[in-house]
Amino acid sequence: MEGAERQRHVLIHSGGIAVVFYVILSIGPVLTMTGSAAVAQSTGVPGNPVAGLLRGEVTEVGRDHISIDSKRYDLRPDVIIQDERSQPRELKDIEVGGFVAYHIKYGRIDQLVLVLPR
């Protein structure tokens, strides 16, 4: 009886593992696509550079930092600054009271999009 019980226990666990592998294999491609789509949106999408970015009002502009909604963020040395039309801009183009969309990487802003008045 003990051997039969152990065999039943092994079959139940083997079946459970098979189900887990089936679920991983069947959902895996969906998860990969979802992750890729999220990364594409968070770093800007051609034609819509503000998709998936945080937004706020500029309250201070420094040489190596910017304050957005009164919260200070350091700028990465390789920060990308552009406007909504994907045209390159410089930090001097950003004014206090203006609106920006931004992305944070490793605690610093790595992408900054100047939202132009319409």
Question: Cβ distance 114 to 80 under 8 Å?
Answer: no
| pTM of model > 0.75 | no
User: Which ranges of the chain does DSSP label H, i.e. alpha helix?
Assistant: 2-42
Using one digit for the tens of pLDDT, what is the confidence trace for 36-84?
Answer: 333 333 344 455 677 889 999 999 999 999 999 999 999 999 999 999 9
Which amino acid is present at 58? Answer: V
CA distance 101 to 16: 46
Going from the N-terminus, what domains does the chain have, and what CATH number goes with each? 54-115 (2.40.50.320)
Across 20-35, average pLDDT: 40
pLDDT in tens, 2-22: 665 555 555 455 555 444 444
Give the number of other CB atoms < 10 A from CB of residue 32: 10
Predicted confidence at residue 117, as pLDDT, reads 81
Name the helix (H) or strand (E) containing 96: none
